[in-house]
Amino acid sequence: MSSDKPSHRGSPYAQELISHLQPHCATHKTDPGEQLDLQVHGQSMCYLILDGTVAIYRRSDDMMLSTARSPALFGLANLTDIYFNDYLRTVTPCLIGVLTTDRVAEIIKEKALWGLLSNHLMFVYTRLYHNVMPKGAPTAYEMIRQQLVLLMQEDDSYRRSVTAERYIRDKTHLSRSGVMRLLADLKTGGFIEMEEGRLIKINKLPARY
């Protein structure tokens, strides 16, 4: 179920945190498409992604912010005064560990893991700032270009299961007609290679369109 491709975006501190938390969590297997809420019945939750890939969505507009593959964990930000009520959706079959953030806080305190937690959160926030938060007002092409590069970095199994148009629109909310037109132009120009709407290869994307 896991990919042999190295994790290029994950926190280097995730696996160590998981090793401390996993003995205290309940684990279950999920099918693709299952939703994992960061708040359940008023209780904040923490999810350990032990195997598989998930997508992170912003609840306010259901926009996909990013994807993450194992090892990864979510919900730790709710240990602080910053509260997130976004949700995850499994992309592949996953093995998930679940525990409340209250229990996580107890374990962090018992094992004196605040330094490790701080390093992990700093890594996540830095990546969020550089890779997810908008920079200025990008054009539609610049948004599509960025998402094509990110799509090419996804696991092969995921990239071949989703059309480029769907991936881009889930993460940008651009119009379908505009995305399809630009993808067609890029394919015709030999900048990208696609099969049945799925991105196969990026040859060279122009900086501007």
Mean pLDDT of 166-195: 94
The residues pairing with 58 across neighbouring beta strands, listed in sequence order, are: 63
Rounded-to-integer distance, Cα 99 and Cα 47, Å: 7
Rounded-to-integer distance, Cα 105 and Cα 101, Å: 6
Q: Which of 1, 128, 23, 131 lies closest to 70 in space, CA to CA?
A: 1
Does the domain formed by 13-133 have CATH 2.60.120.10? yes
Quote the pLDDT of residue 83: 62
Looking at domain 140-202, which of 1.10.3210, 1.10.10, 3.40.50, 1.10.3470 is its CATH number? 1.10.10
pLDDT band at 1 (very low <50, low <70, confident <90, very high): very low
Q: Which of 72, 63, 57, 89 lies closest to 158 in space, CA to CA?
A: 89
Map residue 66 onto helix, strand or coil: strand
Domains 13-133 and 140-202 belong to one CATH topology = no
Rounded-to-integer distance, Cα 87 and Cα 38, Å: 6
6 backbone dihedrals φ, ψ, rounded to 5°: -65, 150
The answer to whether 37 and 30 are in contact (CB under 8 A) is no
pLDDT band at 7 (very low <50, low <70, confident <90, very high): very low
Count of beta carbons in the 10 Å neighbourhood of residue 98 = 15
Q: Which burial class, exposed, middle or buried, applies to 152 when counting CB atoms under 10 A from its CB (0-12, 13-18, 19+)? A: middle
Mean pLDDT of 79-87: 72
Checking if the pLDDT of 27 tops 80, the result is: yes
94-100 vs 192-195, strand pairing mode? unpaired
Rounded-to-integer distance, Cα 188 and Cα 190, Å: 5
Rounded-to-integer distance, Cα 184 and Cα 201, Å: 14
- pTM greater than 0.85: no
pLDDT band at 132 (very low <50, low <70, confident <90, very high): low
